[in-house]
Amino acid sequence: MQKNRQMIDCKILSNKKILNTEKYFMLELEWKNANKIFLPGQFVEIEISKSLDTILRKPFTVFDATKNSIKIIYKVLGKGTRLLSYQKKADFLNIIGPLGNFYNTKILDAKNDKKENNFQNIFIIGAGTGAANIHFLIKNIINFEQNNNDNYYYYLILGFKSKNDIFCLKEIFELKRRIADLKKVENFQIFITTDDGSFDNGKKGYVTDFFGKFENKLKSEKSLIFMCGPKIVIKKWYEKMLKLNVNNSIENLGDFKNPKIKNKSKDFKKENKVLGLERSAKKFDFRVTESFKMFASFEEYMACGLGVCNGCVIKVKDQKNKEKFKYKKVCECGTIFDLEEILWD
């Protein structure tokens, strides 16, 4: 349980449309010392209505936390979010938070005694509404960089359906301004993609399309990846990283620990068809995530947010018994997971 978890009635400071559509809203709620309470990646559960058809609370990631408030961006998809969009300034909403774990940016700190990374590149990827989750993380990293001398290179990749879905464009430009103030512009690159190519200053395609652009860098330099978005997008990026890492090990046969296995590359490819990429790599003793570390926030629906309803479980590896698996509650153990422990269906 989070030490700072509270159930409180929060006063609405604003609840406004943020694009020229009826889809996206920014909700700002009064919360004293929120910037000292909330961490990037955490979420809240909001009671929108006491009527039976909307009685379950709705989970929302924290887009930003300031001295006196938190901000949430939401998309109107159903009755619950439609009712939320009707809420007015000075109304009150009952909220539980902060909930969930957070992005562990401490591993970037050179002063951290447990630092075991030697990362060169930091990729921060947000797909769709996952960009709301990523914004608070980027802001936190910029604050970190103000007092940090490590020479990391940051690549922020945000993907949307169209220009009409880029709900945080204003905030992205503000982040770019703050990056310029750091005098580390060359260390930060920001890329925006749209499925239909409708954003003039971006690229057409999906966030996973950017993998090819950075393939050589990901292959030759150690990278840390933070990501939020649909599960299928997270899985695709992770599988690409695994394949790149394993193929790199095949090219460098010295990475194998078992000298008795001959013609390893051929045997590996044969086993891969049967066991799948990650399992066959482990059979041949690859260190499949040697060149990268990847953490992702999963967008599972959480009815309670407290670990009571068991409605948001995700399949993970049993660390005590490699032949078994178990389930973890995303709301209680996540929403952020090290992807090495995830078992994909």
Largest Cα separation within the chain, whole Å, is 72
pLDDT per residue as tens digits for the range 276-322: 554 544 444 444 456 788 999 998 777 777 778 877 888 888 877 77
Q: Is the pLDDT of residue 259 over 80?
A: no
Helix (H, G, I), strand (E, B) or coil at 313: strand
pLDDT confidence of 247, banded at 50, 70, 90?
Answer: low
Q: What is the rounded distance in angstroms from the CA atom of residue 148 to the CA atom of residue 200?
A: 34
Above 80 in pLDDT, residue 272?
Answer: no
Residues 6+ apart with CB under 8 A from 310: 329
**What is residue 239's three-state secondary structure?**
helix
Q: Which residues of 210-240 are buried (b: 16+ CB within 10 A; e: fewer)?
A: bbeebeeebbeeebbbbbbbeeebbbbbbee
Average pLDDT value for residue range 33-43: 94
For CATH 2.40.30.10, the residue range(s) in the chain are 6-99
116-299, CATH topology level: Rossmann fold (3.40.50)
Residues forming CATH 3.40.50.80 domain(s) in the chain: 116-299
Pick the most confident of 171-185, 264-278, 286-300. Answer: 171-185
- pLDDT above 60 for 53: yes
Q: What is the pLDDT of residue 52?
A: 73
pLDDT recorded at residue 155: 92
pLDDT higher than threshold 60 for residue 257: no
The pLDDT-based confidence of 97 (bands split at 50, 70, 90) is very high
DSSP 109-147: -TT-TT------EEEEEEETTHHHHHHHHHHHHHHHHTT
* Average predicted confidence (pLDDT) for the chain: 82
Q: How many CB atoms lie within 10 A of CB 71?
A: 21
What pLDDT is stored for residue 283 in this prediction? 45
Confidence (pLDDT) at 320: 79
Q: Which of 19, 36, 20, 18 is nearest to 28 (CA)?
A: 18
Confidence of residue 335 (pLDDT cuts 50, 70, 90): very high
| pLDDT digit string, tens, across residues 215-227 | 888 888 889 999 9
Whether residue 193 contacts residue 204, with contact meaning beta carbons closer than 8 Å, is answered with yes
Q: Which CATH architecture has domain 6-99?
A: Beta Barrel (2.40)
Given a cut of 80, whether residue 185 has pLDDT beyond it is no
Mean per-residue pLDDT, 132-158: 86
Question: pLDDT confidence of 228, banded at 50, 70, 90?
Answer: very high
